[in-house]
Structure 1
Amino acid sequence: MKGRVTYDQLNTSVDILHLYLTQTTVLKKGLFFIVEADIKEFTWMKLDKRFQGILNMLRHGQRLREQRGGFTRDVLL
């Protein structure tokens, strides 16, 4: 599943998401979430196939959960 993504790229992505997630509002269940539009606006990361793969790896490792309902949110577990 890792493909051509290095561990450094994965860890950098996690650090950037973590920094942003600490600044967002909390869901009613007490979980932090992030939306792709926020990633585009507030971070320097590109939303390309590599980033989608990183999100899939984090979901597979049960670090993120995708929540749908009007729009798609990635919830930090």
Structure 2
Amino acid sequence: MRRKFTSEDDWLEEVFEKSNSESFLNSAKSALKTFDIFIKSKLEIETPDILDLEEKKSEKIKFRSGHFLK
């Protein structure tokens, strides 16, 4: 599976085109805000980016396997 990187605006436009529903678009915006808050508070990433999330995941895996050294 190939990872697809899109901007927030592109993703919301695609959601709206597929659903053609203003309420669905509002739900998608709300979900993005909720996810952004989660990333900022739980993972302590101020400006979340997919590469930052992959780095955090990699650190967590190394830590769990006992290979994490600081």
The TM-score with structure 2 as length reference comes to 0.33
Higher strand share: 1
Structure showing greater Rg: 2
By relative contact order (CA 8 Å, sep 6+), the higher-ranking structure is: 1
The TM-score with structure 1 as length reference comes to 0.31
Higher helix share: 2
